Amino acid sequence: MDATVTKRWLLARLYEPEQTIVDCRFTLGKPEAGRESYEQEHIPGAVYLDLEHDLSSPVGEHGGRHPLPDPQVLAARLAKLGIGNGSRIVAYDDESGMNAARLWWLLRYLGHENVFILEGGFSAWKAEKFPVTDHQPVRVPSTFATNIQPQMLADVGEVRLQKASAASSSASPALPVLIDSRAGERYQGKEETLDKKAGHIPGAVNYFWKNTQNEDGSYKSSEQLEEHFAGLDKDAEIIVYCGSGVTACPNILALEKAGYRKVRLYAGSWSDWISYEENPIATGEE
């Protein structure tokens, strides 16, 4: 099954007991807005997970603006919400799926594959006049055991090695491809509103994450995405990053939908890379 589900698919399964719907709405710069929106109205039965409080750990000197949460802390939070290893999770937001994709990636990293993203998000659901409520469900705690998938993750050391090998005359042709998921202006270093330095990791190629979606917020078809990523070798190892490890996740989803299987997330992303003064920075096109 695809990693995304339609509004009508969810409507038909809205009250199935093995399912948990998760509201992931969050607005950068307005950290309370997502929870306030959830408390005002949400899809019936949905619980809320906050990007910064639940799906990230506290910011430190390194690790970027949204460091990955401690797996056991996240597992305990999921269990408290009644999410167990037998649960089917459907996540949504109102930010083109970027926060829902963060939860999708995190759950798979914890070893839980039965997770999906609602195409179009909350506004599209409401526009169809599908049910919404302000009632917050009472959830019976469950048990969530982790099975960490380390092959899904890349750290700054691996990215440095990749860049060092790429600069070497003896570089292997099988080096990982580094993808920057941010908008072209940020990748090129023409503007930067979120991080202290502008530019990109040297050698990275730019595939803006929103270009994987249609205007209605649904993902493009597998065939369209294959065409979008046509410049990439399907057998290549790919490391994906963005500003803080959030919008890289929808790009990872799109790459997998297009048939790429060796895809990893550089979780700290650009905001982690620039926290090391010795790391080089590139601008312009590659």
Express each pLDDT in 25-49 by its tens digit. 999 889 899 999 999 999 999 999 9
Query: Pairing between strand 115-118 and 153-154?
Result: unpaired
Does 238 map to a domain?
yes
Does 157 map to a domain?
yes
Residue 152 has pLDDT above 80, yes or no: yes
Q: Is residue 113 located within the same domain as residue 196?
A: no
User: What pLDDT score was predicted for residue 173?
Assistant: 54
Residue 174 has pLDDT above 80, yes or no: no
User: What is the residue-averaged pLDDT of the chain?
Assistant: 94
Q: Is residue 160 located within the same domain as residue 248?
A: yes
Q: Is residue 110 located within the same domain as residue 215?
A: no
Residue 272 has pLDDT above 80, yes or no: yes
Q: Is residue 47 located within the same domain as residue 127?
A: yes
Q: Is residue 8 located within the same domain as residue 144?
A: yes
The rounded percent of the chain whose pLDDT value lies above 70 is 95
Q: Is residue 232 located within the same domain as residue 120?
A: no
Q: Is residue 142 located within the same domain as residue 60?
A: yes
Q: Is residue 141 located within the same domain as residue 184?
A: no
User: What pLDDT score was predicted for residue 167?
Assistant: 55
- Tell me if 207 sits within 8 A of 229, measured CB to CB: yes
Q: How many domains does the chain have?
A: 2
- Tell me if 261 sits within 8 A of 150, measured CB to CB: no
Assign residue 264 the CATH number of its domain. 3.40.250.10
DSSP tag of 4: E
User: What pLDDT score was predicted for residue 133?
Assistant: 98
Q: Which residues contact 257 (CB under 8 A, 6 or more apart)?
A: 2, 3, 219, 222, 225
Per-residue model confidence as pLDDT tens digits over 54-81: 999 999 999 999 999 999 999 999 999 9
Q: Is residue 122 located within the same domain as residue 184?
A: no
At 92, which helix (H) or strand (E)?
strand 88-92
Would you state the structure tokens that stand for residue 226, as one six-digit string? Answer: 């294959």
Residue 92 has pLDDT above 70, yes or no: yes
Q: Is residue 122 located within the same domain as residue 137?
A: yes
User: What pLDDT score was predicted for residue 164?
Assistant: 62
User: What pLDDT score was predicted for residue 285?
Assistant: 85
Mean pLDDT of 116-140: 96
Does 281 map to a domain?
no
Q: Which one of 10, 21, 83, 242 is the catalytic residue?
A: 242
Residue 266 has pLDDT above 60, yes or no: yes
**β-strand partners of 10:** none
- Structural domain range at position 232: 151-273
Confirm whether 242 is a catalytic residue. Answer: yes
Residue 282 has pLDDT above 90, yes or no: yes
User: What pLDDT score was predicted for residue 122?
Assistant: 97
Q: Is residue 138 located within the same domain as residue 206?
A: no
Mean pLDDT of 253-279: 97
If one counts every other C-beta atom within 10 angstroms of the C-beta of residue 22, the result is 27
User: What pLDDT score was predicted for residue 169?
Assistant: 44
The phi and psi torsions of 116 (rounded to 5 degrees) equal -140, 165
List Cα–Cα distances, 179 to 126, 182, 212, 248, in angstroms: 34, 9, 14, 9
Predicted confidence band at 163 (pLDDT cuts at 50, 70, 90)? low
